[in-house]
Amino acid sequence: MDHNISAFGEVLESFRRWRLWVLLGWHDLKQRYYRTFLGPLWMTFGLLIFVSGMGVFWGVLLKVEVRTFIPYFCAGLISWQSIAKPLSEGATSFISGTSIIQTTRVPLLMHPLRLTMRTLSTYFHALIAYFVVAIVLSVPVNAYSLAIFPAFAVIFINCFWVSTLLGMIGARFRDLPPMIDAIIPFLFFLTPILWRPKMLGSWAFTVQYNPLTHFIEVLRNPLLGQPSSPLSYGVVAAVTVIGLIGTFLFFRRFRSRIIFWL
């Protein structure tokens, strides 16, 4: 890291060197499936198997139509994965790059961006599984489906600031990563992925107080060919803007200390 440039200058330098973090993120994914026949496509097949089995099981258990529940569950699950990954791995984004940070002069933000690239790669592989489900079960494609493109930006931007902010806090307080890992399963069941809000009856309104509900809706509904509510768009936009600004101010204040926390 070059301490002679401003925090904003470091942000610009990180994006100027986009080829590096794209390559590193893709390399991380390839290493996980090194010398396997299908490589990262195992994520696609694994998701198909899981969604098929669990979709039928939960559909029967909840007494809902399996044909409509499986696409709902699959779209919700891959949307959840794009949220959970920066939460769980973001807290170690700088810790995992300790050797590089201490020995190489590269922008610190390369590490959250590396995780962001890895998250997007995982998301795109998961989309292949969803498209198979959508074709088999005849999920409609319409004008609402075009909202999938802004959804890519939502994933990228929020993964970037979340992994940057949590990465700094996690470098300073090492209890953060295991604490997040303990909370994520609870958040999963608290968010409408395996269930629909209407199942709560008169308590359905309470899901609106969960910000993750709005992110799931904005990411899932385009895949289902359904519109998202203005409230969800508003919450996602507000969280994204506030998160970006807050993270930048935090990074500008503490970026010089990160190397001492590692």
% of the chain at pLDDT higher than 90: 48
The token duo for 162 is 């979340």
> For residue 57, is pLDDT > 90?
no
DSSP the chain: --TTS-HHHHHHHHHHTHHHHHHHHHHHHHHHTTT-SSTTHHHHHHHHHHHHHHHHHHHHHTT--HHHHHHHHHHHHHHHHHHHHHHHHHTTTTGGGHHHHHH----TTHHHHHHHHHHHHHHHHHHHHHHHHHHHTT----GGGGGHHHHHHHHHHHHHHHHHHHHHHHHH-TTHHHHHHHHHHHHHHHSTTSS-GGGGGGGGGGGGG-HHHHHHHHHHHHHHT-PPPHHHHHHHHHHHHHHHHHHHHHHHHHGGGHHHH-
- Write the single-letter amino acid at 12: L
Which tens digit of pLDDT belongs to each residue from 83-131?
998 999 999 999 988 888 888 888 899 999 999 998 988 898 889 989 9
Task: Assign 64 a pLDDT band (cuts: 50, 70, 90).
Answer: confident
For residues 181-199, give the mean pLDDT. 90
Q: What is the model's pLDDT at position 27? A: 79
Structure pTM?
A: 0.88
Across all residues in the chain, what is the average pLDDT? 88
Between 85-99, 160-174, 240-254, the lowest mean confidence (pLDDT) is in 85-99
pLDDT, tens digit, for every residue of 34-56?
767 667 777 788 888 888 888 78
User: How confident is the model at residue 1, as a pLDDT?
Assistant: 53
Flag whether pLDDT at 245 surpasses 90: yes
Average of per-residue pLDDT across 211-233 = 93
The predicted structure's pLDDT at residue 247: 95
Q: What is the pLDDT of residue 215?
A: 95
pLDDT tens-digit series, residues 169-178: 999 999 999 9
Lowest mean pLDDT among 4-18, 35-49, 72-86: 35-49
Q: Which residue has the higher pLDDT, 191 or 25?
A: 191
Confidence (pLDDT) at 99: 84
pLDDT at residue 222 greater than cutoff 80: yes
Comparing 64 with 5, the larger pLDDT belongs to 64
